[in-house]
Amino acid sequence: MNPQHNTEKFIKELVLTGPAAADERILNDALTAYEKSGKTEPAVREPGVWRMIMNKPITKCTAAAVIIIAVLLSLDIFHQSTATASPQEVLQDAIDAVSDVWSVHMKARMRTRPGDNFSNIGLDYDFVPIEMWKRTDENGLVQWRVEKTGRVLLMDGQTTIMFIRPNFGVLREKVLPLGCFDSWSGRLLNVQELLDNELQKAKNNPGRAVCLWHEEVEGQKEIILEVEVGAYVPEGDYLRNHFIQESDHLKVYRFDAKTKLLEGLQVYVHTEDDDVLIFEVTDIEYNAELDDSVFALDLPEDMIWSREPEILPDNERYEKMTPKEAAEAFFRACAEEDWGEVLRFETYSRVPEWLRKYGGLEIISIGEPFQSEGYARDGLGWFVPYEIRLKSGRVKKFNLAIRKDNPANRFIVDGGL
């Protein structure tokens, strides 16, 4: 992608409310920051200029009371008296553009693990391809599918299933919405809802900064919209930068200037040293005929299904366990290869082969439990540090995720193995 930026960009900040003097200072700050950054842009635009502007104290102070909109127009477009649209107008146009869309097919890539949680990210992970489909038939039946190498999430119009390769599944005999099972990227298929959500936030959130400009890429005019999003967890939280929602990040939307359709999205996670591209939509196709096979799964015969924890005859004993006691009991059951007891801390219908590799382990240490704001779930989710030695001799040191938000009111292992 080689955007043409042979003419100097004109930067204009529009402040919807606030004193004129503050407006002028913000504009001067923006122009100064832009001039210092250089007058030409690289082939792939880095999101650093906007961050530089927003890091200035005067901008931050004013942003606390108003919505700040930066409109960047190259001088040749500006001199043609092209109408300057606000982010709200751009989003509304994009919402209107997808009102007649009945199918969406997206291809993307994300720094994640192939078989891990759909929302899991790692700043140093390799990119994994993600593909997503959604369609609505003439009778209003909605179907969708989200897939990466190790996981598939499918809603066929009647049931919802998450399939984790090679043979684990979660089945719900009902229609669940996009975004269920923490499939963050799946929400992008609801283009109209996605854009409407951004529109409402732009209107209602006085601290939300939005940057908007026009750009010509390979002869095609685009509208670029940047939205800064703050992390849901504080600095130093265990889950910080492990999920997009738990990171400070920048979303860069690209719209076709003619059709107003969303063409792409990039997500950059902010770190102290750099902005890391963590997610990118590489292709979007609208109103394509999708084969019925897309919305069907061919499952193996030896499936292991997730089940809701049942209330046990001696359930009270497990209810009284502290997070640390539950972790100790789970690992002790693995050490003794007491698989019936192991299943009391799991949701599996039977013990999967990968879990049997923990049989005969040696417990080296169990640490003090701690919580994360991104996982606490009303105080019922915990992380328990552990160090164990497997039969193979390999030592593993990590944090066991356990939660207690189930009808049986006992701790269930939720990850960390």
Please give the chain's pLDDT, 417 residues, in tens: 433 333 233 222 322 333 333 334 433 443 344 344 443 333 333 444 334 334 433 333 233 323 333 333 332 333 333 345 677 777 788 778 888 899 999 999 999 999 999 999 999 999 999 999 999 998 899 999 999 999 999 999 999 999 999 999 999 999 999 888 888 888 888 887 877 777 777 677 655 667 878 888 778 888 888 888 889 889 999 999 999 889 999 999 998 888 888 899 999 999 988 999 999 999 999 999 999 999 999 999 999 999 999 999 999 999 999 999 999 999 999 999 999 999 999 999 999 999 999 999 999 999 999 999 888 777 789 999 999 999 999 999 999 999 999 999 999 999 999
Task: Measure CA 365 to chain center.
Answer: 33
Name the strand (E) or helix (H) holding 87. Answer: helix 87-97
Per-residue confidence (pLDDT) for residue 188, from 0 to 100: 84
SS3 at position 201: helix
Q: 309-327: string of b/e by CB count within 10 Å (b at 16+)?
A: beeeeeeeebeebebbebb
Which CATH fold topology does 307-415 show?
A: Nuclear Transport Factor 2; Chain: A, (3.10.450)
Q: What angle do CA 129, 127, 414 make, to 5 degrees?
A: 85
Crossing angle (nearest 10°) for helices 191-204 and 87-97: 160
Per-residue confidence (pLDDT) for residue 365, from 0 to 100: 98
Per-residue confidence (pLDDT) for residue 400, from 0 to 100: 97
Going by C-alpha positions, the residue among 71, 66, 60 that lies closest to residue 31 is 71
CA diameter of the chain = 78
Going by C-alpha positions, the residue among 74, 96, 73, 17 that lies closest to residue 212 is 73
Evaluate whether 87 touches 212 at the Cβ level (below 8 Å).
yes
| Two structure tokens written together for 393 | 């001799």
Measured distance CA(355)–CA(361) in Å, rounded: 11
Per-residue confidence (pLDDT) for residue 352, from 0 to 100: 93
Q: Kind of pairing, strands 103-111 and 304-305?
A: unpaired
Measured distance CA(305)–CA(153) in Å, rounded: 14
Rounded alpha-carbon distances, angstroms, from residue 370 to 121, 136, 295, 384: 21, 44, 40, 7
Residues of the chain with CATH 3.10.450: 307-415
Evaluate whether 186 touches 153 at the Cβ level (below 8 Å).
yes
Measured distance CA(146)–CA(97) in Å, rounded: 23
Question: Where do we find the tokens 């606000």?
Answer: 86
Rounded alpha-carbon distances, angstroms, from residue 298 to 176, 207, 293, 303: 20, 47, 10, 11
Measured distance CA(373)–CA(378) in Å, rounded: 9
What pTM does this model have? Answer: 0.76
Measured distance CA(314)–CA(236) in Å, rounded: 39
| Two structure tokens written together for 344 | 């009391």
| Two structure tokens written together for 373 | 């704001």
Per-residue confidence (pLDDT) for residue 90, from 0 to 100: 77
Evaluate whether 281 touches 265 at the Cβ level (below 8 Å).
yes
Measured distance CA(167)–CA(161) in Å, rounded: 12
Instruction: State the Cα torsion 9-14-18-24 to the nearest 10°.
Output: 20
SS3 at position 293: helix
Per-residue confidence (pLDDT) for residue 206, from 0 to 100: 57
Give 380's DSSP letter.
T
Evaluate whether 415 touches 347 at the Cβ level (below 8 Å).
no
| Two structure tokens written together for 7 | 């003419």
Per-residue confidence (pLDDT) for residue 85, from 0 to 100: 65
Measured distance CA(268)–CA(46) in Å, rounded: 9
Per-residue confidence (pLDDT) for residue 212, from 0 to 100: 79
Burial class from Cβ neighbours inside 10 Å (0-12, 13-18, 19+) for residue 382 reads: buried
Per-residue confidence (pLDDT) for residue 22, from 0 to 100: 37
Going by C-alpha positions, the residue among 329, 356, 322 that lies closest to residue 345 is 329
